[in-house]
Structure 1
Amino acid sequence: MSLLYRLLKRSRALLLCALVISQYSHASVIMNGNRIIYPASAKEKTLQFTNQDPHPNLVQIWLDINNPRSTPTTADAPFVATPQVFRMEPNFRSGCPINVYGCRIAAGSRIGILF
């Protein structure tokens, strides 16, 4: 019985820690959706963002292929976002177009997945 009691006590402590830590996570500007489907026939696709703050925010975008250490100068995705830096007004939705850059997507080709 003491083992069960210790496990319950430990899990309550972990739950309490998770609740406290989650209170500190907040995103001012969020991207609407988490996947982008880029049709081969499209000239561009628009990323949608929402600023939930009561004050303006500066947004910087770069696209990479699954590289957590990527920077704007080392971004290696075959897409480019324009503009790469822009200001979002308070409580505002905005779009940022992305275009294919450095490769060609053939019409009727298989789906490629980039993360």
Structure 2
Amino acid sequence: MTAIEWIIIIFLAVGTLFSIAAGIGLVRFPDVYSRLHATGKNATASVILIMSATFIYFLYEHQLFIGKILLTILFVFLTTPVAALLISRSAYRIGIPMSKESVRDEMKPYYDNEKASPAKNE
């Protein structure tokens, strides 16, 4: 096996491990915020690694440069963390409670100040 084939195998294996970790985090974590953290971080890394392995495979084995794969990597890299952030903020704003094991609530002071101050755009 060549070095490129080993790189492809390593990318696929690590991407698979990240995907499994995202699935376990989705099932095992207690609240929506920690579940979003697990899936947002791990699924992003998983997709990027697996798509990178796919890109390298087609480039090496078939001499095909597939730009759509690179665009997929960029799209996932940009959109998944933003989507996880927006979902978690929306969940916090509508009052979905945090887990009892959560140690601190970093959003509480921010939203308390927002509620106390009058709206700026009105």
TM-score of Structure 1 vs Structure 2, range by shorter chain: 0.3 to 0.5
Higher helix content, 1 or 2: 2
Higher strand content, 1 or 2: 1
